[in-house]
Amino acid sequence: MLDLLDCNGKKDIKSMTLEEVTAQMAALGEKSFRAKQLYDWMHVKLAEGFDDMSSLSIPLRQKLKENYSLTCLKVVDERVSQVDGTRKYLFGLEDGHVIESVWMQYHHGNSVCISSQVGCRMGCRFCASTLDGLERNLRPSEMLEQIYRIQSITGERVSNVVVMGSGEPMDNYDNVIRFLRLVSHEKGLNISQRSLTISTCGIVPGIRKFAEEGLAVTLALSLHAPNDEVRKTLMPVANSYKLQDVLEACHYYYEKTGRRLTFEYSLVRGVNDNLDEARALAKLIKDQHGHVNLIPVNPIKERDYVQSGQKAIQDFKNLLEKNGINVTIRREMGRDIGGACGQLRRSYKEASAAPQCTEGEG
């Protein structure tokens, strides 16, 4: 069940669809054009509070305050890369948790990488986001807000969103689907579904269900190994789902949506980066419609994984290409400002032993 209450038990109006907002306003005795205005204040004008909604009467704003919460993230830290202009944000949630988001500039537009959960319970060995497990799921409004706040701060339109920050989107399925519908809604930020990507560690029932949603979103699969044996050493989820089943589900997603897939492969020295593994990977995905994105692993201090050397990365790429696979090497954006997925949040948590309220968590 979707939990649309915030941590104080109030209804989270920013997580509601326009139809739901309209029904809520009708229950308060308001006309439907008021619902449209409210929706516009939340999702287009990116208002930070009900009091900013100047086209709504003061009594109506008062009624809204009494009945609903308007989720708004607080900037706890902002870091700007001197190398490539990438910005990393730490946002504070109403219950004291912090989450991490990243803004990147590409020639085709601005992209934001958002978190879908506070922490993660998937346990991938090289990933900082999962070290303390899952704290809680993010609500749709908390995913939207990462984009809204960044767009307000930078003053620049966000054209691409990748759900590739902390968390496993398929482990917070209903909230993520609702988020995708809201962020691509024509009366909201209206980001094209083709410009949205969600990355999963490979939860088979989730991928199959996602294929049925009628969304034209790009699916990225965290593959990281060419066989189950190596994959199990990196990703505990590989004990639950066999690679063959994961890839079949991905192919089903392609057939249903027509969207080409992305296979993410983080290269770890001596673990998954030799040429036999490149050959096995090429064979594994040769019939899939998609490309491989090689990610030089970003070492975290809690683990002793080491990045593959430049030559090993290049050789791995060349071998895939020789076997007819499209490959890109992910540019390391914002290297100077907090490293990989979840590392900025982690260093913040270590530095501040701030108590966190857990009340009302879903």
Residues lying near ligand SAH in the complex (CB under 6 A) are found at 122, 124, 126-127, 164, 168, 199-201, 222, 264, 266, 295, 297-298, 300, 340-341
In the numeric block, which tokens belong to residue 204?
Answer: 């088979």
Cα separation, 100 vs 341, in Å, equals 8
Q: Is 7 annotated as a binding residue?
A: no
- Whose Cβ is closer to ligand SAH: residue 4's or residue 204's? 204
Q: Is 124 annotated as a binding residue?
A: yes
Q: Minimum distance between the CB of residue 49 and ligand SAH, rounded to whole angstroms?
A: 32
- Whose Cβ is closer to ligand SAH: residue 121's or residue 256's? 121
Q: Is 167 annotated as a binding residue?
A: yes
- Whose Cβ is closer to ligand SAH: residue 7's or residue 162's? 162
Q: Is 223 annotated as a binding residue?
A: yes
By the 10 Å C-beta count (0-12 exposed, 13-18 middle, 19+ buried), 82 is classed as exposed
Q: Is 113 annotated as a binding residue?
A: no
Query: Measured in Å, how far apart are the chain's first and last C-alpha atoms?
Result: 10
Q: Minimum distance between the CB of residue 290 and ligand SAH, rounded to whole angstroms?
A: 14
Sorted by sequence, the CB contacts under 8 Å of residue 297 that are 6+ apart come out as 126, 266, 267, 268, 269, 305, 306, 307, 308
Sorted by sequence, the CB contacts under 8 Å of residue 338 that are 6+ apart come out as 79, 88, 344, 347
Q: Minimum distance between the CB of residue 107 and ligand SAH, rounded to whole angstroms?
A: 22
Catalytic position from the list 7, 72, 113, 341: 341
CA 243 to chain CA centroid, nearest Å: 23
- Whose Cβ is closer to ligand SAH: residue 141's or residue 266's? 266
Cα separation, 100 vs 90, in Å, equals 5
Q: Is 28 annotated as a binding residue?
A: no
Alpha helices of 286-342 — where are they, by DSSP H? 310-322
Q: Is 341 a catalytic residue?
A: yes
Catalytic position from the list 7, 30, 100, 264: 100
- Whose Cβ is closer to ligand SAH: residue 16's or residue 120's? 120
Q: Minimum distance between the CB of residue 50 and ligand SAH, rounded to whole angstroms?
A: 34
- Whose Cβ is closer to ligand SAH: residue 53's or residue 162's? 162
By the 10 Å C-beta count (0-12 exposed, 13-18 middle, 19+ buried), 217 is classed as buried
Cα separation, 120 vs 128, in Å, equals 9
Cα separation, 65 vs 145, in Å, equals 18
Residue 333 in contact with residue 103, Cβ under 8 Å? no
Q: Minimum distance between the CB of residue 38 and ligand SAH, rounded to whole angstroms?
A: 33
Q: Is 206 annotated as a binding residue?
A: no
Q: Is 100 a catalytic residue?
A: yes
Residue 125 in contact with residue 235, Cβ under 8 Å? yes
Q: Minimum distance between the CB of residue 169 and ligand SAH, rounded to whole angstroms?
A: 6
Residue carrying structure tokens 């001596």:
270
Q: Which residues are annotated as a binding site for [4Fe-4S] cluster?
A: 120, 124, 127
Q: Which residues are catalytic?
A: 100, 341
Q: Which residues are annotated as a binding site?
A: 120, 124, 127, 167-168, 199, 222-224, 298
Q: Which residues are annotated as a binding site for S-adenosyl-L-methionine?
A: 167-168, 199, 222-224, 298
